[in-house]
Amino acid sequence: MNIDLTGKKAIVTGGSGGLGRTIVRTLAECGADVAIHYNSDRTSADTLKAELTAMGRKAAAFQADITDEKSVHAMREAVESTIGLPDIMVVNAVIQYEWKPLLEQDIKDYYSQFESCVMQMVYMSKEFVPHMIDQNYGRIVVMNTECAYMAEPNCSAYTSAKRGLDGIVRVLAKEVGSHHITVNQIAPGWTITDKERANGINPAPEYIATVPLGRRGTDNDIANMAAFLSSDLAAFTTGAYIPVSGGRVMPAI
């Protein structure tokens, strides 16, 4: 049994970043053509585009501010005219910020996290889901986090925004299910990406001690789940919050 995305088109927000880059490559390896969204790192996006083209895939890079409705709309128009509207949407981008205790966290960080989590999902859905409804098919994969479940210290802005994102995803799954569109969330743990591999992987013994499988996850672990949820192998799974955290998060029934 193989994950076959041949003939499908995908868009990945934050596609030039550490985790996004691996998701883009994995979808392409499964046969999909990919629209690579980036905010500021055009060089990485163009390099990734060249990799996919060498695989024989259609690929293009698109700049957008995912917290701005007009910018996301312009990206949709560019994607449509370049490689065509996607069958698969992976919502992965998020604004990075310095985590602090709630009493010390800058108020603007709460707004930035809400905008980059909840409002990104709203803007992307409004632009790309109507096409999925028209064709009576779609796969939406959303990056959440184990933090939304764990609610640990120092991540109140991130946790609150991702919990808001969870609500949006669950509602959307019910609204579009009749159109054979699935909407699912992946909840990664503390994930190793190429940036950390280049700079030295944090051994993180205290964190690993809380992971039943005894290691940190990798970008490949997350990308494999994204590819599965993007495929027809997951055609009867929707509205799910799926931890990919080595057992650190085990949602209860």
Q: What is the CATH number of the domain that holds 92?
A: 3.40.50.720
| Distance (Å, whole) CA 182 – CA 166 | 14
Domain count, the chain: 1
Q: Is residue 2 situated within a structural domain?
A: no
Q: Is residue 99 situated within a structural domain?
A: yes
Structural element, H or E, at residue 142: strand 138-143
Q: Is residue 205 situated within a structural domain?
A: no
| Distance (Å, whole) CA 115 – CA 75 | 17
| DSSP 3-state of 248 | coil
Minimal CA–CA distance to 124: which of 89, 81, 172?
89
| DSSP 3-state of 6 | coil
Domain enclosing residue 164, as ranges = 9-189+218-242
Q: Is residue 253 situated within a structural domain?
A: no
| Distance (Å, whole) CA 71 – CA 230 | 25
pLDDT per position in the chain (253 positions), as tens? 799 999 999 999 999 999 999 999 999 999 999 999 999 999 999 999 999 999 999 999 999 999 999 999 999 999 999 999 999 999 999 999 999 999 999 999 999 999 999 999 999 999 999 999 999 999 999 999 999 999 999 999 999 999 999 999 999 999 999 999 999 999 999 999 988 898 889 889 999 999 999 999 999 999 999 999 999 999 999 999 999 999 999 998 8
Q: Is residue 252 situated within a structural domain?
A: no
Helices (H), the chain: 18-29, 42-55, 69-82, 107-114, 120-135, 147-150, 156-176, 194-199, 205-208, 219-230
What is the model's pLDDT at position 221?
Answer: 98
Q: Is residue 108 situated within a structural domain?
A: yes
Q: Is residue 97 situated within a structural domain?
A: yes
Tokens representing residue 135 in the block? 């064709």
What is the model's pLDDT at position 252?
Answer: 85
Q: Is residue 249 situated within a structural domain?
A: no
